[in-house]
Amino acid sequence: MELKKLTEDKNIIEKVIEGSIAEELEIEPGDILLSINDNKVKDIIDYKYLISDDYVVVAIEKLNGEIWEFEIEKDFDEDLGILFTNPLIDKARSCRNNCMFCFIDQLPPNMRETLYFKDDDSRLSFLQGNFVTLTNMSDEEIDRIINYRLSPINVSVHTTNPDLRVKMLNNKNAGKILNILKRFNEANLQVNCQIVLVPGVNDGIELERTLEDLSKLYPTIESVAVVPVGITKYRENLYKVKPFNKETAEELLDYIDKKQKYFLEALNTRFVFASDEFFALSGRKSPDYEEYEGFPQLENGVGLMKSFEYEIDKELNNIKVPINVNKKYILATGTLAYDFMSNIREKIIKKFVGLDLQVVPIINNFFGHTITVSGLVTGQDLIEQLKSYKDISGVIIPKSMLKRDEDIFLDNLTVEDISKELEVSVIPSEVSGKEIIEILKK
């Protein structure tokens, strides 16, 4: 059936999932999605919403220009099995805030252009878990989140004090956050919140106020993560911000421990969780596995070390007879996780014979020594600090050092570049106990 195109946008299909409805219908990469139920597909949220029914009519433009229309009966919420060249099917929305702690404002010049793009897109929150401030959205867009039931959504709150939030984000609309969260609460949307804590700004009584305000919206607000502000050496002409140190990290953990006990009794959940950085900075042992309550903010660095250690222990317990591996590996990590990874190393080598495993903390000369996390280690720092190591079987790095779904570091060097410079295989790994052990077994 010949149909009129309902969109000028090129919703180009990049991949068809094997065994999917789309494959059965002979939809192919390069085809273009025109409409669903005669509705233009504006973006991925439209697609997810329109495709959810158990009966849909889909119009596709084939590579030869023919327009095919499919009447599809399927399970409710079952996807067609297509992936788009642009995952959003639209341009990502940029952030109009000027946050006093923004990490992108602290980047050096002459890096790849995409690193300077500030996204604040609720669709990326829904699809990829990105945190959004909700300050750059119209009432119509907020309504769309509610009407389409985009959940869970991750929100960077920082403070519920309207005046302080306007100051911190430098956006006149920032003070509306609590009202928006209340609307999400009324719509029963699941929300996870983040507080980037800036000493002397939104801590102390301001943090107390924020947690009390957010806790009143439980259980739709499922959890709150508290993470420390990150500071690079490129903060010229920016708001003066103090970094956390061992003493202030310990004070924060004492406070979070007190609040968790309070919320556990009042709400039957700990509700607020400190990121791993506070525990590593203070030298304090992280909570037990069960205390993370299912790790609702694992991607935000809350409980990542504990989860990894648990997986390592599980994999090592499955090794009944020590494995012979006559190889020499380096585990490259940020300086913050050095002690933790050294303890992991001690556990691993007990289950292997002939394995030379060395943990090397990479000092962040690129961004400055105040940046200590693995995810901000650059390729050039790896090269400079590992070039003296010889006769290595491989250098294992966490994939968090790389751009999502690409083997490229923040400074544009690739995994292949590092391997050539070091003359050794560089092996990216998920922060997964199973994956690390499988690499070492080879």
What DSSP string runs through 63-125?
A: TTS-EEEEEEE--TT----EEESSTTSSPPPBP----TT-SGGGPPSSS-GGGG--B--HHHH
pLDDT at residue 401, rounded to an integer? 92
Q: Say what the alpha-carbon torsion angle 162, 163, 166, 172 is, to the nearest 10 degrees.
A: 90
Q: Cα dihedral angle (130, 136, 140, 146), rounded to 10 degrees?
A: 30
pLDDT of amino acid 123: 47
Task: Check residue 137 and give its pLDDT.
Answer: 76
Whether 128 and 151 have beta carbons less than 8 Å apart is answered as no
CA 255 to each of CA 2, 28, 114, 272, 284: distance values in angstroms, whole numbers, following the listed order:
66, 55, 38, 11, 14
**Tokens standing for residue 409:** 């570091």
Handedness of CA 184, 188, 191, 197 (dihedral sign): positive
Question: Quick one: pLDDT at residue 147?
Answer: 84
- How many beta carbons lie within 10 A of that of residue 284, not counting itself? 16
Residue 220 DSSP SS3: coil
The beta strands (E) that lie in 293-338 are given as 323-324, 328-334
Task: Tell me the whole-structure pTM to 2 decimals.
Answer: 0.79
CA distance linking residue 440 with residue 325, whole number of Å: 8
Peptide bond preceding 152: is omega within 30 degrees of 0, i.e. cis? Answer: yes
Helix axes 177-186, 139-148, angle to 10 degrees: 30
User: Over its length of 442 residues, how does the chain's per-residue pLDDT go in tens digits?
Assistant: 334 343 445 688 888 999 999 999 999 999 989 899 998 887 777 788 888 888 999 999 998 889 999 999 988 878 898 888 765 544 545 566 677 776 665 566 666 555 544 444 444 444 444 778 888 777 887 888 888 787 788 899 999 999 999 999 988 989 999 999 999 999 999 999 999 999 999 999 999 999 999 999 999 999 999 999 887 776 676 678 888 999 999 999 999 999 999 999 999 999 999 999 999 999 999 999 999 999 999 988 899 999 999 999 999 999 999 999 999 999 999 999 999 999 999 999 999 999 999 999 999 998 888 888 898 899 999 999 999 998 999 999 999 999 877 888 988 899 999 999 999 999 999 989 999 999 999 8
Helix (H) or strand (E) holding 342: helix 338-349
Closest CA to 274 of 195, 365, 356, 204: 195
Q: Give the end-to-end CA distance of the chain in Å, rounded to a whole number.
A: 55
Q: Encoding tokens for residue 189?
A: 């949307």
Q: How many CB atoms are closer than 10 A to CB 48?
A: 17
Question: Which residues is 82 bridged to in the sheet?
Answer: 16
Residue 47 CA to residue 39 CA, distance in Å, equals 10
To which residue do tokens 């992280």 refer? 286
For 107-144, give one letter per residue: b (16+ CB within 10 A) or e: eeeeeeeeeeebbbbbbbbbeeebbbbbbbbeeeebeb
Per the listing, tokens 């790849």 go with 112
With tokens 């956050």, the residue in question is 177
Which residue is listed with tokens 């929150």? 125
Question: CB-based contacts of 169: which residues, under 8 Å, 6+ apart?
Answer: 97, 98, 99, 133, 135, 158
Is residue 299 within 8 A of residue 251, CB to CB? The reply is no
pLDDT at 316: 96
Q: Where are the beta strands (DSSP E) in 112-260?
A: 131-132, 153-156, 191-197, 221-228
Q: How far is Cα 155 from Cα 213, in angstroms, rounded to an integer? A: 14
Q: What are the CA-CA distances from residue 307 to residues 107, 222, 282, 304, 314 (Å)?
A: 30, 19, 19, 5, 11
Give the whole-angstrom CA distance, residue 429 versus residue 249: 29
Please check whether residue 80 is in contact with residue 13, taking contact to mean a CB–CB distance below 8 angstroms: no
Q: Can you list the positions of beta strands (E) in 366-425? A: 394-398
Give me the domains of the chain, ranges plus CATH numbers: 13-84 (2.30.42.10), 104-301 (3.80.30.10), 309-441 (3.40.50)
